[in-house]
């Protein structure tokens, strides 16, 4: 068949209104990276298994490689760059740094976003819950324990700041 026409899509990325002209078969990942310069969203497997292309779609984690860009029309997207909009480190990123939870760093954006989405729903998740939530994010440096440490440290800090007691 002849190639179908491009369509205009508009969505917000990290609070900023963006638009692009895309083919129906363009993935959200490709459009974010190649059209809009969001190189922090990374290609890993292209099958939704590894989690490196995780973005939050209206607050929930999705695989950027499995969402057609046309399907994100009108949605609100968050990439890891949007966690700390001022260019500094988000407290969760600071916890990753302090705990040595990033080695090569390739998986880190996906880890951070998946963990962040969990913490929005469950501010004090058990270690088992964090582990379960992050099973779909692969780290080939095998730094999983430190990642769990970092997420739990952030949860504990946030609870302390909120005046909670454990």
Partner 1 sequence: MVAAPFGYQRVTSFEEAAWALRERGEDAKVIAGGQSLVPMLNLRIARPAWLIDINPVGAGPIEDHGGYLRLPALTRHRLVEAAEVVRRRCPILAAAAACVGNVRTRTRGTIGGSLAHADPAGELPCVAVALGAEVTVRGPDGARDLAVGDLLVSYLTTTLEPDEVVAEVRVPTLGPRSGWSFLELCRRSGDWMVVGVAAVVELDADGAVAAASVTFGGVAERPWPVPAEVLADLLGGPPAGERLALVAHGAAAMLDPDDDVHASGAYRRRMAAVLGRRALVEAAARARENGSPAP
User: Residues in the site for partner 1, rule: CB under 8 A?
Assistant: 1, 3-4, 7, 23-25, 27, 30, 46-49, 51, 54, 57, 60-63, 65-68, 70-71, 114, 117-118, 132-133, 135-137
Nearer to partner 1, 98 or 132 (CB): 132
To the nearest whole angstrom, how small is the minimum distance from the Cβ of residue 131 to partner 1? 9
Task: Pick the closer one to partner 1 by CB: 27 or 79.
Answer: 27
Q: Provide the minimum distance between the beta carbon of 40 and partner 1 in the complex, in angstroms, as a whole number.
A: 17
CB of 8 to partner 1, least distance (A): 13
Taking residue 123's Cβ as centre, other Cβ atoms within 10 Å add up to: 13
Task: Compute the least distance from the CB of residue 86 to partner 1, in Å.
Answer: 28
């Amino acid at each position: 068949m002849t190639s179908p026409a491009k369509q205009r899509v508009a969505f917000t990325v990290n609070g900023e209104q963006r638009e692009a002209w895309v083919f129906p078969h363009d993935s959200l990942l490709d459009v974010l990276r190649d059209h809009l310069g969001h190189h922090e969203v990374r290609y890993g497997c292209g099958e939704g298994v590894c989690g490196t292309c995780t973005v939050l779609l209206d607050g929930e984690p999705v695989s950027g490689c499995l969402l057609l860009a046309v399907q994100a029309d009108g949605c609100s997207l968050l990439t890891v760059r949007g966690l700390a909009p001022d260019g500094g480190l988000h407290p969760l990123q600071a916890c990753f740094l302090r705990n040595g939870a990033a080695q090569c760093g390739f998986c880190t954006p996906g880890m951070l976003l998946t963990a962040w989405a969990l913490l929005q729903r469950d501010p004090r998740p058990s270690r088992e819950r964090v582990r379960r939530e992050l099973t779909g994010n692969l780290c080939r440096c095998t730094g999983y324990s430190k990642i769990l440490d970092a997420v739990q440290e952030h949860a504990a800090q946030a609870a302390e700041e909120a005046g909670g007691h454990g």
